[in-house]
Amino acid sequence: MNIIRYKYLLSIIILSFFFINSFANYARIDSTNLIEKNNPLAYSDNLDSLLNDWYVSNSLVPVQTDTNFIDIENLDLQEFNDSDYIKRIEELPDFIELSYNKVVRNFIHLYTNEKRDLVSKMLGLSTYYFPIFEEILDANNLPLELKYLPVIESALNPRAISRAGATGIWQFMYSTGKMYKLEINTYVDERRDPVKSTEAAVHFLGDLYNIYHDWILAIAAYNCGPGNVNKAIRRSGGRTDFWEIYYRLPRETRGYVPAFIAASYVMNNYQYHQIQPVNSEFPYACDTLIITEKLHLKQVSEVLKMPLTLLENLNPQYRHDIIPASEKGYSLTIPTEYTMQFIDLQDSIFNYKDSVFFNKSIVRDNPKYAYSQYVHEPPKGNYSKLYYTVKSGDNIGYIAEWYHVRASDIRYWNNIHRNLIRVGQKLVVYIPKSKAGKYKNFNNLSFAQKQKTLGIKVEEKTTTNKIYNYPEGTNFITYTVKRGDTFWEIAKKYDGVSESDIMHLNNISDARALSYGQVLKIKPVN
């Protein structure tokens, strides 16, 4: 009898410990942007800020119903059982397996109760954006339901900027955007281009799926990065189910997947919750014209008598409303009904007030453009423009010291954020002409030789023990290049391998000479 009591007490203690641990984890989630209880304030405020942009008020109008406007304040909202939600989620035509639990339910309640007005706006915007997402997802053979990710990323606002600096409808950070070939400069930010950013996001998601072969984990990694997901899997004993690694993930990511499931539910079942879409004034049909000459959106607006706000909403990637001149050409999206008019009047459009719209002082001084960076101009005076190719081990501080310029100048001249540079990148450096000859051969110097110019002695690293000419028939470990890969990132995957090893072994001299699908030799098979 005493043994039975002892086992009973031991069970109570173990269960209590488990409960306390679970409660502690549960409470930690509540203190972040998540809404695992009924406290959605942080998350809902973030949703509001993402959608609360001037373009929303200019592109949306209240939808008329047969009985005038719906009085949301006096709606008698029906409560649904878990079985109702489960049934509707199971009926969604989704390839991705969507789970249902109390976390998902709380996000559904957030969307359908506290944030129903926001859902109305997003439903209106979805009529314009979802066809863009679906076409690109379909062309790349990805599940079409991934179109709901921008609902939780940006609330379908191409100008959304997070506190961390993620930008655009798919919320790309600067470095990730560059990795996926998005153009980001003074005039153009393709993270805000609905088409270009979707193409980049689709490639990114495809790469993540190739890592996990699980869409839910790929979605989680889109939010927090594959490194954090890998750590969660490892710390969970190799488990690869999202809900089994849930508490090992970053706190924000714990709410990301449930929010995606809830968004998928709400965007398909809003009618059950008496939510009415708000009509969007985005045109149903648009044409894309390729522009190679410098063009201001106001030139198009004033000559064609088209609302400027409409043009800006259709072309949010142009930071100053200026399409820069380029041989490759930039896209201009306009409503179809204006296409022939633009073609007929294009000479007049390009010449209209060009001396006014391309005055640089106007661009710099206009508060509207305060978000954008200033035009990067060379220093005034007698300066030579030199190029330095980034090598392995370089950083902005070293390069600034070698050329005797300020690190901030190098960042300014090269549109660099947070000191992020990559091997093979060419950096512009302005040097007084009288001293330019001193730096003529800097690209050919080793790290130790460049440090020596500062009076700093560094032992040369030798690679005499590296033999790159292997006998014919040697078997190698190989790697197939993915989109956005660099030699540095590939080398990190293998112990004892550097970027230069891979480049020498594959007879590559240019660190930028990587192409998608290329097969690289990494090292001999032991």
At a CB cut-off of 8 Å and minimum separation 6, what does 482 contact?
Answer: 207, 210, 516
In the block, which residue shows the tokens 């005493």?
2
pLDDT tens digits, one per residue of 73-93: 444 566 789 999 999 999 998
Alpha helix segments (H runs only) across 31-169: 41-51, 54-59, 82-90, 102-109, 116-139, 149-154
Counted residue by residue, the chain has a size of 526
Q: How far is CA 185 from CA 29, 197, 204, in A?
A: 37, 15, 21
Point out the least confidently predicted range of 153-157, 207-211, 242-246, 461-465: 461-465
What's the predicted TM-score (pTM) here?
Answer: 0.60
DSSP class of 483: T
Dist. CA 259–CA 43, nearest whole Å: 10
Lowest mean pLDDT among 352-361, 388-397, 474-483, 493-502: 352-361
Question: Which helix (DSSP H) or strand (DSSP E) does residue 176 occupy?
Answer: helix 174-179
* The token pair that represents 266 in the structure block: 């709400």
pLDDT confidence bin for 511, thresholds 50/70/90: low
Using 50, 70 and 90 to split pLDDT, how confident is the model at 213? very high
CATH code at 383-452: 3.10.350.10
pLDDT confidence band for 164 (50 / 70 / 90): confident
> What's the CA gap between 58 and 280, in Å, rounded?
9
Q: How far is CA 484 from CA 76, 175, 181, 194, 512, in A?
A: 51, 10, 8, 20, 11
Query: How far are the Cα atoms of 13, 87, 288, 385, 472 from residue 378, in angstroms, in the given order?
Result: 71, 63, 34, 8, 52
Q: Quick: pLDDT tens for 183-194.
A: 999 899 999 999
Domain boundaries, the chain: 1-31, 33-280, 289-369, 383-452, 476-524
Q: How many CB atoms lie within 10 A of CB 411?
A: 18
Q: Token pair of 282, please?
A: 């985005």
CB distance 245 to 239 below 8 Å: yes
For helices 251-269 and 116-139, angle between their N-to-C axes, nearest 10 degrees: 90
- The structure tokens listed for 307 are 């609302």
CA angle 206, 484, 257 (to 5 degrees): 40
Confidence tier at 493 by pLDDT (50, 70, 90): confident
Say whether pLDDT at 65 is over 50: no
What dotted CATH number matches 476-524? Answer: 3.10.350.10
Mean pLDDT of 420-446: 84
Cα-Cα-Cα-Cα dihedral of 160, 166, 167, 171, to 10°?
A: -80
| 524 φ, ψ (degrees, to nearest 5) | -65, 150
Least confident of 54-68, 227-241, 418-432: 54-68
Burial of 73 from C-beta contacts in 10 A (0-12 / 13-18 / 19+): exposed
* Domain at 33-280: CATH code: 1.10.530.10
The pLDDT score that the predictor gives to residue 482 is 81
Q: Give the N- to C-terminal CA distance of the chain in Å, as an integer.
A: 62
- Asked if pLDDT for residue 317 goes beyond 90, the answer is yes
pLDDT for the residue 463 = 45
Q: Are strands 330-335 and 286-291 parallel, antiparallel or unpaired?
A: antiparallel
Active site residue 153: yes
pLDDT band per the 50, 70, 90 thresholds, residue 3 = very low
pLDDT, tens digit, for every residue of 346-385?
A: 888 988 887 777 765 555 555 444 333 344 556 777 888 8
pLDDT at 517 over 60: yes
Q: Tell me the H-state helices in 173-250.
A: 174-179, 194-212, 215-224, 226-235
Contact (CB, 8 A) for 265 and 92: yes
Nearest CA to 223 out of 255, 263, 264, 180 is that of 255
Does this chain's domain 33-280 share its CATH topology with 383-452?
no
Closest of 102, 78, 106, 104 to residue 89, by C-alpha: 104
Cα gap 229→249, rounded to integer Å: 7
Predicted confidence at residue 374, as pLDDT, reads: 40
Averaged pLDDT score across all residues of the chain: 79
Q: Which of 374, 304, 381 is nearest to 346 (CA)?
A: 304
The pLDDT assigned to 370 comes to 39
**Active-site residue identified among 153, 190, 199, 312:** 153
